[in-house]
């Protein structure tokens, strides 16, 4: 015999041992020397394929499982697949009974009586060229002990069984005599004493060839064994020490397999059976587990799509179905991508795939007599376009905060249903995002619908969604990667009106608290129910150094942006502006100097629109008890215009708070607390002046700060938070819900956990 070797250099003692054992086994199987595998048989007389150019239907959610002269076998995807034989001539089809069926380069189809082919004991063989004839039933137990089915190659049923600890391969020819009821006779093809072979799934390459992976001798050296199932002749391809040979293929003229150890990296080894030589093709051509095929003098390969769900990108990795000349190395992409392929009866390949111009279906790739690039023809179509297109997008351009709170329905209409799709929604300013994905569906076309619940994105403690721009991106790739990926993107805006204490744009009230050492913290709140009290949602540390200020006030959006700003007066009397950013991770920007001389004021109240022009203003009482108004300009470089005298007599108060439209009047109101702890309401007239005071109630002397926070509980009325003067044992915030009634503007207070455990010397 001739022992065909790879290019690898092997250790001397193992080379001779393996050669001797291989010679013994192969002579026992073939009965003579190995010769070049003969060419594939021609199409039998009288058997014709479908009319030239005829394209028949192919099931949309299926792969190709076999192909013969008269038609092809398809297998639907899923836990309980359907096997269907479709004729090329007229597109008629027949669903085969059972849970599995095997095809292999002929019109024969094999099925069994069990859920898997390996467990079947009764095997049914059908000649699909003569579908009206009864199937042949073979009882494997009558052939001998332990036979089980491993595949079908043309009219050869491939069997295997365990013998003395080794797996031995057999073939049973389903010739006219057997099909007519004659006695089937299995014959050994590979394996035996010290040769352990198993079927190489996908290694059958046409109606008469099989390729096996084997372990040989005590050293368990790996080898590929190619077998001509008609003559029984075998060719051996030992692998190197520690080598791993991946997927392979065999044809009338070549044997090829993927190898991990070749010069320059993993690649494809190619040999001519019986020639005594082997050579290695250039590196590349996919992963060692990717299927490999032969079409005449060309290699063919590809990789099904894979979606990386762990990275949550939704981006599939797609490699098109490619052919590569063994002689010249020329490459050509024949299909955009593929999901399955089988050998045809005439040296061709039948490939389930797609192209942008012809769509999805079953393509025949045929070798040419001149050795040129193989021909490609569509023989069966799913009726689907390979390219996924969007036929409609249903995403609003703008949304109000109220619309978002009720949930938002988003949808995209696609031309195909069998796609894997991933949606990414990102809040542009913060970068917070969420993901959603859809598995393939049988419907085509299809609507991808998603309901955003209106909650914030990408946080452990989600509250309402933040205002501002949102960007969405949708990626849709055909299932199994047949066809290019669709990418869509767009933006919409959530509009929230400016709120005096909403620093992150989510429609809820926020507070700042300064600890005695100067550390500033940021507190988010959330209503427990519309019109009810509020609770703590989240807190974050802003930074230190704030002990240099003796007065801190939230001033509303005095700088003209949607986010509120903060005013801070240092001990030398300079007033500073900290603009709000709208970003809860960094709610305040660097400070800007407004001006000096502010030490003349005893109290500063900011954030209400006292003049009715839509801009927040500042009010301050000097040490003589005069109340002054600084109208807001909306200009960050000069946020206030010249002061105006409102009136005197304000020296009796030790706390003044701008509380917005608390009591239903035309403009911003003021609350003032006298030194006996009584709280008084001054209704704003809208022209920078105030109506006569109205008594709210007593007992307010125990509060350090009284803060008008706007509508904190979603009922449309301004509310109040009052911070307890901290002691060693007491601290916290009490929430007062506004009523909108000047005669009784506040509901009873409810203690909250908004400031958590923090002790502070200023709340604003």
Q: How distant, in Å, are the alpha carbons of 80, 172, 200, 676 from that of 148? A: 22, 12, 15, 98
Which tens digit of pLDDT belongs to each residue from 233-286? Answer: 998 888 765 555 667 888 888 988 887 665 555 678 888 877 666 666 665 656
Mean pLDDT (the chain) is 84
Which tens digit of pLDDT belongs to each residue from 346-383? Answer: 889 999 988 888 888 999 999 999 999 999 999 999 98
117 backbone dihedrals φ, ψ, rounded to 5°:
-65, -30
- Residue 646, pLDDT > 90, answer yes
Q: Collect all residues with Cβ–Cβ distance below 8 Å to 466 and sequence separation of at least 6.
A: 427, 429, 430, 432, 456, 494, 504, 505, 506, 582, 584
The confidence score (pLDDT) of residue 483 equals 65
Query: Reduced to 3 states, what is the DSSP secondary structure of residue 650?
Result: helix
HEC per residue, 652-681: HEEEEEEEECCCCCCEEEEEEEECCCCEEE
Q: Which whole number is the average pLDDT over 21-36? A: 26
The confidence score (pLDDT) of residue 679 equals 97
**Beta strand spans in 174-265 (E):** 187-190, 195-199, 209-216, 221-228, 234-238, 245-250, 255-259
Query: Reduced to 3 states, what is the DSSP secondary structure of residue 521?
Result: strand
Asked if 230 and 201 touch (Cβ cutoff 8 Å), the reply is no
Q: Which whole number is the average pLDDT over 727-745? A: 86
Q: Which whole number is the average pLDDT over 160-170? A: 92
Q: Which whole number is the average pLDDT over 410-435? A: 92
Higher local confidence (pLDDT), 73 or 386:
73
The confidence score (pLDDT) of residue 477 equals 87
The confidence score (pLDDT) of residue 276 equals 60
The confidence score (pLDDT) of residue 461 equals 63
- Residue 170, pLDDT > 60, answer yes
Asked if 677 and 721 touch (Cβ cutoff 8 Å), the reply is no
- Residue 288, pLDDT > 80, answer no
Q: How confident is the model at residue 759 (pLDDT cuts 50, 70, 90)?
A: confident
Higher local confidence (pLDDT), 23 or 136:
136
The confidence score (pLDDT) of residue 1 equals 25
Which tens digit of pLDDT belongs to each residue from 515-527? Answer: 999 999 999 998 8
User: What is the percent of the chain with per-residue pLDDT over 90, rounded to a whole number?
Assistant: 52
b (16+ CB within 10 A) / e for 510-545: bbbbbbeeebbbbbbbbbeeeeebbebbbbeebeee
The confidence score (pLDDT) of residue 319 equals 61
Task: For residue 172, give the nearest of 181, 180, 184 by alpha carbon.
Answer: 184
Higher local confidence (pLDDT), 566 or 667:
566
What is the value of pTM for the model shown? 0.63
The confidence score (pLDDT) of residue 45 equals 29
Asked if 232 and 29 touch (Cβ cutoff 8 Å), the reply is yes
Which tens digit of pLDDT belongs to each residue from 686-720? Answer: 999 999 999 999 999 999 999 999 999 988 899 99
Which tens digit of pLDDT belongs to each residue from 608-639? Answer: 999 999 999 999 999 999 999 999 999 988 99
Poorest-pLDDT segment among 366-370, 397-401, 594-598, 723-727 = 723-727
Which tens digit of pLDDT belongs to each residue from 175-210? Answer: 888 888 888 999 999 999 999 998 765 445 567 888
Distance in angstroms (rounded) separating the CA atoms of residues 154 and 41: 11
Which tens digit of pLDDT belongs to each residue from 555-606? Answer: 999 988 889 999 999 999 999 999 999 888 899 999 999 999 999 999 999 9
- Residue 669, pLDDT > 80, answer yes
Distance in angstroms (rounded) separating the CA atoms of residues 375 and 363: 10
Which tens digit of pLDDT belongs to each residue from 99-141? Answer: 889 998 999 999 888 877 778 889 999 999 998 889 999 999 9
Residue 481 per-residue DSSP state: G
């Amino acid at each position: 015999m001739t022992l065909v070797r790879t290019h690898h250099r092997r250790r001397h003692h193992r080379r001779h041992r393996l050669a001797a054992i291989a010679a013994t086994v192969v002579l026992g199987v073939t009965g003579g020397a190995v010769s070049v595998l003969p060419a594939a048989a021609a199409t039998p007389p009288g058997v014709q394929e479908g009319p030239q150019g005829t394209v028949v239907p192919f099931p949309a959610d299926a792969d190709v499982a076999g192909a013969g002269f008269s038609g092809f076998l398809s297998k639907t995807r899923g836990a309980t697949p359907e096997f269907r034989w479709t004729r090329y001539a007229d597109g008629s089809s027949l669903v085969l009974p059972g849970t599995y069926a095997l095809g292999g380069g002929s019109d024969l189809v094999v099925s069994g009586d069990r859920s898997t082919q390996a467990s079947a004991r009764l095997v049914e063989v059908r000649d699909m060229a003569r579908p009206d004839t009864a199937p042949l039933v073979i009882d494997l137990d009558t052939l001998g002990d332990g036979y089980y089915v491993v595949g079908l190659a043309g009219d050869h049923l491939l069997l295997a069984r365990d013998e003395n600890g080794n797996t031995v391969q057999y073939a049973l020819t389903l010739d006219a005599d057997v099909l007519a009821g004659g006695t089937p006779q299995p014959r050994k093809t590979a394996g035996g004493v010290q040769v352990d072979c198993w079927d190489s799934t996908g290694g059958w390459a046409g109606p008469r060839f099989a390729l096996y992976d084997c372990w040989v001798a005590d050293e368990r050296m790996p080898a590929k064994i190619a077998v001509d199932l008609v003559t029984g002749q075998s060719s051996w391809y030992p692998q190197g020490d520690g080598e791993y040979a991946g997927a392979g293929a065999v044809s009338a003229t070549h044997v090829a397999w993927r190898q991990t150890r070749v010069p320059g990296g993993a690649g494809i080894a190619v040999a001519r059976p019986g020639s005594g030589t082997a050579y290695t093709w250039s590196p590349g051509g996919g992963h060692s587990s990717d299927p490999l095929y032969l079409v005449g003098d060309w290699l063919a390969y590809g990789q099904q799509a894979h979606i990386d769900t762990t990275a949550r990108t939704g981006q599939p990795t797609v490699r098109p179905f490619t052919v590569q000349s063994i002689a010249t190395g020329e490459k050509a992409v024949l299909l955009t991508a593929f999901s399955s392929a089988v050998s045809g009866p005439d040296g061709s390949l039948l490939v389930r795939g797609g192209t942008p111009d012809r769509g999805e279906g079953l393509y025949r790739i045929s070798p040419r007599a001149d050795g040129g690039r193989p021909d490609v023809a569509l023989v069966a179509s799913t009726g689907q376009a390979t390219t996924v297109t969007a036929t409609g997008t249903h995403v609003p351009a703008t949304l109000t905060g109220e619309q978002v709170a009720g949930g938002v329905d988003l949808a995209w209409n696609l031309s195909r249903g069998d796609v894997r799709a991933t949606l990414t929604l990102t809040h542009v300013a913060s970068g917070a995002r969420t993901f959603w994905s859809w598995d393939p569906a049988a419907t085509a076309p299809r609507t991808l619908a998603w309901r955003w619940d209106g909650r914030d994105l990408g946080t452990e403690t989600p509250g309402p969604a933040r205002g501002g721009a949102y960007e969405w991106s949708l990626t849709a790739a055909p299932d199994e990667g047949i066809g290019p990926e669709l990418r869509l993107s767009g933006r919409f805006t959530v509009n929230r009106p400016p709120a005096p204490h909403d620093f992150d744009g989510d429609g809820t009230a926020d507070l700042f608290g300064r600890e005695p050492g100067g550390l500033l913290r940021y507190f988010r709140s959330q209503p427990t129910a519309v019109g009810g009290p509020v609770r703590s949602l989240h807190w974050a540390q802003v930074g230190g150094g704030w002990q240099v200020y003796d007065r801190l006030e939230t001033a509303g959006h005095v700088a003209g942006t949607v986010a509120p700003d903060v005013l801070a007066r240092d001990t030398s009397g300079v007033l500073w502006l900290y603009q709000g950013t709208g970003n809860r991770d960094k709610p305040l920007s660097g400070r800007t100097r407004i001006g000096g001389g502010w030490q003349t004021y005893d109290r500063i109240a900011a954030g209400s629109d006292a003049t009715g022009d839509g801009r927040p203003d500042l009010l301050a009482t000097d040490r003589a008890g005069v109340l002054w108004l600084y109208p807001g300009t909306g200009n960050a470089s000069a946020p206030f215009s010249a002061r105006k005298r409102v009136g005197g007599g304000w020296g009796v108060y030790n706390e003044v708070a701008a509380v917005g439209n608390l009591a239903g009047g035309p403009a911003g109101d003021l609350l003032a607390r006298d030194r006996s702890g009584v709280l008084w309401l001054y209704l704003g007239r809208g022209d920078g002046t105030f109506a006569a005071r109205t008594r709210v109630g007593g007992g307010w002397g125990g509060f350090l700060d009284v803060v008008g926070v706007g509508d904190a509980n979603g009922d449309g009325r301004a509310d109040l938070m009052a911070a307890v003067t901290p002691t060693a044992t007491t601290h916290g915030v009490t929430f007062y819900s506004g009523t909108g009634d000047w005669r009784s503007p506040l509901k009873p207070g409810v203690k909250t956990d908004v400031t958590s455990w923090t002790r502070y010397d200023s709340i604003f």
